[in-house]
Structure 1
Amino acid sequence: MSRLTLSQLSAFMKLAETSSFKDAATQLGVSQPALSRTIQHIETRVGVRLFDRDTRTVTLTPAGERLRPSAARLLEDYETVFRELREFVEGREGIIRIATLPSVASAVLPGAIQRFQPKFPGVRIEIWEDVGEQVHNVVREGTADFAIAPPPDLAGDLRYQELLKDSIVLACRQDDPLAAIAEHNWSSFEGCRLVTMSPETGLRKMVESGLAQSGVVVERMFNCSAATTVGALVNAGQGITALTRLTMAQIASPSLVWRPLVDPALARSIGVVRHKARSLSPAAQAFTREVEQQARVLRMGDLAPSALDLVQSA
């Protein structure tokens, strides 16, 4: 027994549905003789009569009745496969897996997701948060489609597109005398207790660079993995800290303030990290455009204070 083509299955199903060569041929857009030949070819290939015909009626034989549900299922599966593929190609379904730093996630992703989801309700977004090189590693391994993070080693297998600069600032309690000064250089940390992020974070490395360039000696405290812990310790009077503006937005503590740091003024670059050898899905490409839009909003400072405290208190 030979297998039937999809067009032959479609012809069989249309004739079974209409019980009329004339009506079936019209709906299929072929001539009656052409449809008749197709049905004859089908019956020859399967080796059994599928329709009983007389001058007035066309009915399914027992073999035709047996074939009908299977043919319907095959045609439905075929349509489903290509409908799902079409939805994927159009970015209307799928999963987007994003790796990022917690501070970046809280500032960039909510606004981007808010604009993206009404346009692509069938797409699920998964967020993977970590610090340091591990954010790059999950893109390298294929666990994440892309990352929103500082730049990787561009000599490797990743590529980078910058979105914004995230300045390092001095952060302290509102009642700290340092809060009364509008701008600081790194000497403001001299002799202070500095609540720090853990050494494997890129932020810690940048803070150490600023201290070294300024020749400042500080007492380093705690080595925290989470910025929220740093904020809580500063709030508890355990010292001051150096964080970034996005990290301060993540902490979102009304009792903490930040002041710019200069001489040197340092900032980390934040952008989209992708694998050089892997294409993004259409949905992921659409989402990166929303991320770029959100980065423009951040650069312009067009955010409510609860989302990003860009306005310094007096």
Structure 2
Amino acid sequence: MHQRLTLPQLEAFLTLEATANFSAAAAALGVSQPAFSRTIHQIEVRLGVRLFDRDSRHVRLTPAGQQLRPIAERLLKDYDRLFREFESHVEGREGRVRVATLPSIAATLLPGAIRRFCETHPGVKVDIWEDVGPPVHRMVAEGEADIGIAPRPAASMALDFKPIYQDRLVLVCRADDELARAAHGWSVFGERPFIAMSTDTDLRGMIDRALAAANVVVEPLFNCKYPTTAGALVIESQGISILTRLGVEQIRSPDLAWRELDGPDAFRLIGLVTSPGRSLMSPAHDFMREVEKEARALGRAA
């Protein structure tokens, strides 16, 4: 049966090797000499080999002791290093925050939040995955991401959701279009060519429900998969569109303008998605606070 030494036993062994004196080694460890001598005896009995040759004046390592010394040094060094890393992780000085989110959020809410977070947590890495809502929710549920930033997940997923931003549907037109001068009602989309989002997007479903609530019938054009495509078509004077505020911010074109819509109040609620059964370390909580701060700033600028 293999015998293993404890960390205090390894420390006692190395202290005696360094001091070459039982009294000095005992004093260094804050124990009595008889107690220290018993510890060294127990080590040798456990290993079944003599580690020190001693006489009235000298304490020297035996060949077995010389073989054990680098092992003991490495074990103690690794122990200290690993626990320093663990303490740094717990205290938020090191580690990793894994974030899954929508592309429009990654391009708008995250850059400023990440900049501030990295200034205060230089040893913490931030990983970002971009996808549509359901895959973001799934990554959080399966533990692949610590935090999701997305619309509210389905109740069946049993995830926690903290709202941080109302991502409103807005009119999108060219910056030099007369529509850019004021807010408009939903009826305007029945009067102009309408660039629509694809029917397989969550955004299209939200737009269709809002148009139906406003009793507006439109003939969609193009059916774009991504907001950037719809924005590009608007810039090329192919029509007007409906996007969310974050979708417009993602495009960031001086040729594009957005305006609030009068009538049915339509928005998707964006929030922080976490798993109730999984504890988060302090850096993740700090990162979420920065995202909330960014969301509040964008809301005030609306």
Q: Provide the rounded CA distance (Å) in 2 between the counterparts of 1:165 and 1:199.
A: 22
Alpha carbons 1:157, 1:277 under 8 Å: kept: no
Partner of 1:286: 286
2:209 aligned partner, one-letter code: S
1:230 aligned partner, one-letter code: A
| 1:215 to 2:212 alignment | no
Q: Extract structure 1 runs of 4+ deviating beyond 3 A.
A: none
Alpha carbons 2:102, 2:136 under 8 Å: kept: yes
1:127 aligned partner, one-letter code: I
Partner of 1:307: none
CA positional deviation for 1:186: 0.3
Distance 1:189 1:129, change over 3 A: same
Q: Provide the rounded CA distance (Å) in 2 between the counterparts of 1:23 and 1:160.
A: 60
Partner of 1:97: 98
Q: Provide the rounded CA distance (Å) in 2 between the counterparts of 1:155 and 1:52.
A: 70
2:50 aligned partner, one-letter code: R
Cα deviations by residue, 1:176-199 (Å, 9 ceiling, x for unpaired): 22223x111100111422222222
Q: What is the TM-score when the length of structure 2 is the normalising length? A: 0.93
- In the alignment, structure 2 segments of 5+ residues that lack a partner are none
Q: Please identify, of 160-169 and 196-205, the stretch whose mean Cα deviation from structure 2 is larger.
A: 196-205
1:59 aligned partner, one-letter code: R
Cα deviations by residue, 1:124-161 (Å, 9 ceiling, x for unpaired): 21111112422222222322222111111234321210
1:214 aligned partner, one-letter code: A
Q: CA RMSD in A?
A: 1.7
Partner of 2:29: 28
Alpha carbons 1:195, 1:230 under 8 Å: kept: yes
Cα deviations by residue, 1:213-247 (Å, 9 ceiling, x for unpaired): 11212221222222211111111111111112221
1:8 aligned partner, one-letter code: Q
CA positional deviation for 1:49: 1.5
Partner of 2:187: 187
Partner of 1:88: 89
SS in 2 for 1:133: helix
Distance 1:20 1:159, change over 3 A: same
Partner of 1:39: 40
Distance 1:171 1:88, change over 3 A: same
| 1:58 to 2:59 alignment | yes
Q: Provide the rounded CA distance (Å) in 2 between the counterparts of 1:53 and 1:118.
A: 56
Aligned residue pair count: 301
Alpha carbons 1:192, 1:219 under 8 Å: kept: no
Partner of 2:73: 72
Q: Share of identical aligned residues, percent? A: 54
Partner of 2:144: 143
Alpha carbons 1:112, 1:290 under 8 Å: kept: yes
2:109 aligned partner, one-letter code: V
Partner of 2:248: 248
Cα deviations by residue, 1:244-268 (Å, 9 ceiling, x for unpaired): 2221111110011111112112121
2:44 aligned partner, one-letter code: E
Alpha carbons 2:109, 2:291 under 8 Å: kept: yes
SS in 1 for 2:153: coil
Q: Please identify, of 252-261 and 147-156, the stretch whose mean Cα deviation from structure 2 is larger.
A: 147-156
Q: What is the TM-score when the length of structure 1 is the normalising length? A: 0.90
Distance 1:239 1:124, change over 3 A: same
Alpha carbons 1:184, 1:261 under 8 Å: kept: yes
2:236 aligned partner, one-letter code: A
Q: Provide the rounded CA distance (Å) in 2 between the counterparts of 1:128 and 1:142.
A: 13
Q: Provide the rounded CA distance (Å) in 2 between the counterparts of 1:124 and 1:225.
A: 31
Q: Please identify, of 147-156 and 75-84, the stretch whose mean Cα deviation from structure 2 is larger.
A: 75-84
Alpha carbons 2:101, 2:133 under 8 Å: kept: no
Q: Please identify, of 258-267 and 274-283, the stretch whose mean Cα deviation from structure 2 is larger.
A: 274-283
Alpha carbons 2:133, 2:150 under 8 Å: kept: no
Alpha carbons 1:132, 1:200 under 8 Å: kept: no
Distance 1:5 1:132, change over 3 A: closer
| 1:265 to 2:265 alignment | yes
Partner of 2:201: 201
Q: Provide the rounded CA distance (Å) in 1 between the counterparts of 2:240 and 2:126.
A: 36
Alpha carbons 1:154, 1:160 under 8 Å: kept: no
